């Protein structure tokens, strides 16, 4: 039995913290509270949460110990199956507000009133890796939004890439099996760079366009806050009159879209496994709320028929230069989840969760998804009542005659659980204004067939390639070369090269050269040869990049004796532009600046490598730099910043360190001392990367 030895001052409310001594001499902290007593799940107050019930102090544990058994049993069942795809994710709460009344196009209530906010929950994710995999791997990112509208939940379950690998749901399990860890060896984790993936995609030519996107910078976003999102499929808006308009959904971050550099992504996977999760969490905690505009491409059937490709084919984009984007509202993420499991893990998205005014098309990938998502929740969340979990509940009234099942929470009253009925006057009834599917005519032979209009697999891939800037093309070549270098089966490499040749000769030649496999592409016959389309600048991240440092992070390397005035100037200037500043120093506890004040570091040099930052500042003192040049970590810190094409603000005292790190002068190496130094640094940092530096540092491969 435990005996109380000392009682601390009462803490908040009626709680007192006591140090309790056990009979065996051990002590532990115990909270003594009138209203916060620790209890079992049955509400029984627990007097000892440290020791199991034993027969004698050194005797065996008794089966009778219902407190221990309940605790351990619950723990044993804490995990649910992780999502088969998109297992690794991060969520946030927020709201959506339309810019204007969209009722001309849709009767969806949440798109009608610009004064009305609709609550949302968003989950961003990677696709291939397990729930514990690293954030910065090369992969597609999920971008799933649940709108809790007044007419029910609408889920826009999209990705950060506007097309998909396959055209028909029938191939999805094959695709996913091929990209996941290989079945016998269970590696590689969260990586497409292995034989089975490239084997599959090289045999499925419809994947070519998506491969271009996945191998581009889009596959390694800088942040969930800085990536675009897409609904992928063509959907329909339906207005009060029942008229349908095709729509493609787009999300655009208001602070612009930008990506990592591959070497940075690789190093980040070691430096901060949770790079994207932490970034999202910290931004919201800091009140720097991520914002995304919702855009649509709206078009009628006549326009669709003139595009020269099929809008039901999810491997095609509609260039914005042909059908421009109209921005119709904004999403703001302003609250982190209270509990990861309850919210981010248990949230159940489903593309079939639509509201009146939004409808599907016959895209065969979408049609298959309409089955899959509910089905997967049955095993993931354990039964058909997952809509009763707090995060999945609609905010509008929900009434029907579905009853019972595992984990039923609601207590339905009365004897009437069927419809029609005459016994329950106030039981739910159909409503003429409820959801009605768009009555698209459909009558055809029952067959398994891909339409002819889906047969061109190369024109859009070529459009993507030709729309990229030079650095982006180099990155695509490097990514293909990296991935194929990990493919051990030479025939698969050759087959992929054969596909790339059908996209564009420059692409194929570039990858062949990077691999040292010149002329080895397999000769493949396309069903339809690539046509050259008009370049779409909107496809390139670099071409449309806005000069900004809003939402970005600047790392300042300081030592004892660093210039306090300059540090403050950098901090003020960066904060003024909406950027964050973090201090990196040899010691975490505090650095004594030149004016005698102390600054506390956010990171040590090894704990805060420069890959964590978008731009860096070198602010050592002349004395401090002498130590830094002897530290491999400090030299690597600067070398990485340079080789990741970052802007480096510096003081004269940093020169020995920069020399040792191989920093060479260019537009991104900015002296801070002297008039206008800080301003020049901020202006340069708005470019984000110094692309001209790249060819001097690395060649594709």
Q: Which residues are catalytic?
A: 86, 159
Q: To the nearest whole angstrom, how small is the minimum distance from the Cβ of residue 552 to ligand HDE?
A: 25
337 binds ligand HDE (CB under 6 A): no
**Closer to ligand HDE by Cβ: residue 165 or 275:** 165
Residue 608 is given by DSSP the state S
681 binds ligand HDE (CB under 6 A): no
Residue 652 is given by DSSP the state G
**Closer to ligand HDE by Cβ: residue 169 or 545:** 169
Q: What part of residues 120-139 is at the interface with ligand HDE (CB under 6 A)?
A: 123, 125
**Closer to ligand HDE by Cβ: residue 236 or 552:** 236
**8 Å CB contact between 294 and 331:** yes
User: 120-156 burial by CB neighbour count: b if 16+ within 10 A, else e?
Assistant: bbbbbbbbbbeeebbbbbbbbbbbbbbbbbebbbbbb
210 binds ligand HDE (CB under 6 A): no
142 binds ligand HDE (CB under 6 A): yes
372 binds ligand HDE (CB under 6 A): yes
Nearest to 271 by CA among 134, 139, 475: 134
368 binds ligand HDE (CB under 6 A): yes
610 binds ligand HDE (CB under 6 A): no
- The phi-psi region of residue 13 (left if phi > 0; otherwise alpha if psi is between -120 and 50; otherwise beta) is left
- From residue 74 to residue 113, the character string flagging contacts with ligand HDE as x (rule: CB under 6 A) and all else as - is ---------xxxx--x------------------------
User: 544-564 burial by CB neighbour count: b if 16+ within 10 A, else e?
Assistant: ebeebbebbbbbbbbbbbbbb
**Closer to ligand HDE by Cβ: residue 162 or 256:** 162
Closest residue to ligand HDE, judged by C-beta, is 142
265 binds ligand HDE (CB under 6 A): no
- 470 is known to lie in a ligand binding site: no
- 369 is known to lie in a ligand binding site: yes
User: 202-240 burial by CB neighbour count: b if 16+ within 10 A, else e?
Assistant: bebbbbbbbbbbbbbbbbbbbbbbbbbbbbbbbbbbbbe
164 binds ligand HDE (CB under 6 A): yes
Q: How far apart are CA 613 and CA 54, in angstroms?
A: 54
Q: How many residues bind ligand HDE (CB under 6 A)?
A: 24
Q: What part of residues 493-532 is at the interface with ligand HDE (CB under 6 A)?
A: none
196 binds ligand HDE (CB under 6 A): no
CB atoms within 10 A of CB 287: 7
Q: How far apart are CA 492 and CA 460, in angstroms?
A: 23
Peptide bond before 420: cis, by omega within 30 degrees of 0?
Answer: yes
Among 369, 552, 644, 693, binds ligand HDE (CB under 6 A): 369
Q: What part of residues 590-609 is at the interface with ligand HDE (CB under 6 A)?
A: none
- 495 is known to lie in a ligand binding site: no
Among 52, 376, 469, 604, binds ligand HDE (CB under 6 A): 376
**8 Å CB contact between 684 and 670:** yes
644 binds ligand HDE (CB under 6 A): no
266 binds ligand HDE (CB under 6 A): no
Among 20, 232, 651, 661, binds ligand HDE (CB under 6 A): 232
Peptide bond before 188: cis, by omega within 30 degrees of 0?
Answer: yes
DSSP 336-382: --S-IIIIIIT----TT---TTEE----HHHHHHHHHHHHHHHHHSS
Task: Compute φ and ψ for 296, nearest 5 degrees.
Answer: -130, 150
- 123 is known to lie in a ligand binding site: yes
Q: How many CA atoms, within 13 angstroms, populate the side-chain half-sphere of residue 491? A: 4
- 36 is known to lie in a ligand binding site: no
Q: To the nearest whole angstrom, how small is the minimum distance from the Cβ of residue 601 to ligand HDE?
A: 35
211 binds ligand HDE (CB under 6 A): no
221 binds ligand HDE (CB under 6 A): no
Among 247, 365, 581, 584, binds ligand HDE (CB under 6 A): 365
**8 Å CB contact between 168 and 364:** yes
280 binds ligand HDE (CB under 6 A): no
340 binds ligand HDE (CB under 6 A): no
**Range 468-474, long-range pairs (CB < 8 A, 24+ positions):** 468/216, 468/539, 468/540, 468/542, 469/540, 469/542, 469/543, 469/691, 470/691, 471/542, 471/691, 471/694, 472/216, 472/217, 472/540, 472/541, 472/542, 473/506, 473/507, 473/510, 474/510, 474/694, 474/695, 474/700
349 binds ligand HDE (CB under 6 A): yes
Query: Using CB under 6 A, which of the segments 193-201, 286-294, 370-378, 468-476 binds ligand HDE?
Result: 370-378
**Closer to ligand HDE by Cβ: residue 61 or 362:** 362
Q: To the nearest whole angstrom, how small is the minimum distance from the Cβ of residue 141 to ligand HDE?
A: 8
Q: Residues in the site for ligand HDE, rule: CB under 6 A?
A: 83-86, 89, 123, 125, 142, 144, 157-159, 164, 169, 172, 232, 347, 349, 365, 368-369, 372-373, 376
Residues in binding site for heme: 83, 123, 172, 369, 373, 380
């Amino acid at each position: 039995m435990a005996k109380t030895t000392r009682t601390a001052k009462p803490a908040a409310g009626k709680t007192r913290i006591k140090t309790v001594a056990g009979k065996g001499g051990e002590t532990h902290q115990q909270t003594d509270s009138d209203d916060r007593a620790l209890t079992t799940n049955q509400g029984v107050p627990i007097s000892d949460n440290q020791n199991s019930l034993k027969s004698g102090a050194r005797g065996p544990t008794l089966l009778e110990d219902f407190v221990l058994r309940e605790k351990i049993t619950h723990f044993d069942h804490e995990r649910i199956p992780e999502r088969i795809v998109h297992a690794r994710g991060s969520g946030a709460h927020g709201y959506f507000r339309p810019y204007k009344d969209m009722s001309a196009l849709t009767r969806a209530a949440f798109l009608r009133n610009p004064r009305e906010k609709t609550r949302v929950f968003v989950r961003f994710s990677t696709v291939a890796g397990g729930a514990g995999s690293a954030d910065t791997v090369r992969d597609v990112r999920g971008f799933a939004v649940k709108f809790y509208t007044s007419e029910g939940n609408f889920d826009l379950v999209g990705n950060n890439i506007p097309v998909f690998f396959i055209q028909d749901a029938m191939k999805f399990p094959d695709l996913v099996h091929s990209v996941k860890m290989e079945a016998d060896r269970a590696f590689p984790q969260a990586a497409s760079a292995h034989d089975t993936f490239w084997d599959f995609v090289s045999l499925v030519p419809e994947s070519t366009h998506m491969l271009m996107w996945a191998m581009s910078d889009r596959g390694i976003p800088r942040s969930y806050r800085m990536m675009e999102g897409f609904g992928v499929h063509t959907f329909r808006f339906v207005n009060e009159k029942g008229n349908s308009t095709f729509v493609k959904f787009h999300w655009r971050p208001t602070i612009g879209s930008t990506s990592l550099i591959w070497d940075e992504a690789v190093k980040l996977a070691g430096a901060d496994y949770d790079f994207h999760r932490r970034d999202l969490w910290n931004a919201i905690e800091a009140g720097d709320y991520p914002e995304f505009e919702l855009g649509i491409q709206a078009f009628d059937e006549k326009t669709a028929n003139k595009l020269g490709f099929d809008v039901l084919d999810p491997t095609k984009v509609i260039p914005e230069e042909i059908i421009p984007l109209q921005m119709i509202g904004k999403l703001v993420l302003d609250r982190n989840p209270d509990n990861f499991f309850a919210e981010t893990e248990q949230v159940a998205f489903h593309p079939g969760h639509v509201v009146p005014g939004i409808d599907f098309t016959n895209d065969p990938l979408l049609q298959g998804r309409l089955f899959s998502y509910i089905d997967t929740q049955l095993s993931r969340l354990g039964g058909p009542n997952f809509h009763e979990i707090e995060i999945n509940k609609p905010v509008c009234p929900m009434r029907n005659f579905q009853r019972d099942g595992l984990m039923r929470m609601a207590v339905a009253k009365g004897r009437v659980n069927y419809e029609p009925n005459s016994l329950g006057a106030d039981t739910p009834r159909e409503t003429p204004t409820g959801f009605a599917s768009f009555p698209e005519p459909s009558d055809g032979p029952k067959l398994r067939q891909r339409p002819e209009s889906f047969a061109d697999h190369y024109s859009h891939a070529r459009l993507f390639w030709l729309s990229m800037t030079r650095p982006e093309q180099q990155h695509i070549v490097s990514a293909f070369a990296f991935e194929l270098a990990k493919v051990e089966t030479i025939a698969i490499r050759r087959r992929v090269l054969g596909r790339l040749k059908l996209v564009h000769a420059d692409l194929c030649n570039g990858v062949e050269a990077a691999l040292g496999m010149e002329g080895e592409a397999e000769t493949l016959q396309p069903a339809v040869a690539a046509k050259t389309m008009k370049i779409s600048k909107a496809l390139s991240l670099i071409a449309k990049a806005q000069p900004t440092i809003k939402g970005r992070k600047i790392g300042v390397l300081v030592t004892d004796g660093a210039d306090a005035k300059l540090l403050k100037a950098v901090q003020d200037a960066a904060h003024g532009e909406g950027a964050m500043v973090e201090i990196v120093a040899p010691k975490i506890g505090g650095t004594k600046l030149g004016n005698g004040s102390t600054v506390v570091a956010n990171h040590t040099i090894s704990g805060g490598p420069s890959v964590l930052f978008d731009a860096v500042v070198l602010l050592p003192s002349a004395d401090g730099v002498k130590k830094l040049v002897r530290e491999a970590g400090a030299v690597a810190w600067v070398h990485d910043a340079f080789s990741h094409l970052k802007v480096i603000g510096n003081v004269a005292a940093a020169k020995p360190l920069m020399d040792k790190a191989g920093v060479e002068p260019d537009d991104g190496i900015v002296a801070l001392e002297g008039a206008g130094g800080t301003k020049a640094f901020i202006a340069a940092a708005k470019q984000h990367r110094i692309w001209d530096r790249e060819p001097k540092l690395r060649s594709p491969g």
